[in-house]
Structure 1
Amino acid sequence: MAIQIKGLGKHFPQDGKQTDVLVDINLTVNDGDFVSLLGPSGCGKSTLLNIIAGLEKSSKGEVLVDHQLVTGPKSDRVMVFQEAALFPWLSVMDNVMFGLKMKGVPARQAQELAQETLKMVHLSRFTKAYPHELSGGMRQRVAIARALVMDPKYLLMDEPFGALDEQTKLLLHSELQDIWQKTKKTIIFVTHSIHEAVQLSNRVMLMGTRPGRIIKEFLIPYSQPRSKSDPNLTYIEGQIFDDLKEEIEKVMQEEVDHDYHVTSNRLPWSADRDLGSNI
Structure 2
Amino acid sequence: MVSMTPAPTLTLNDGTEIPQIGLGTWQLTGEEGYRVIREALSLGYRHLDTASAYGNEEIVGRAVRDAVAAGEVTRGELFITTKAWQDEQGAEATPDAFRRSLDRLGLDYVDLYLVHWPHERQGRYVEAFEAIARLQGLGLVQSVGVANFYESVLREVAGEVGVVPATNQVELHPGFSQAALREVHAELGVTTVAWSPLGRGEVLAHRELDRVAREVGATPAQVALRWAMSLGCVVIPKSARSVRLSQNLAAAGVRLTREQILAISALDDAEGSGRIFEDPRRF
If the TM-score is normalised by the length of the shorter chain, which range does it land in?
Answer: 0.3 to 0.5
TM-score (norm 1): 0.37
Q: TM-score, normalised by structure 2?
A: 0.37
> More strand by proportion, 1 or 2?
1
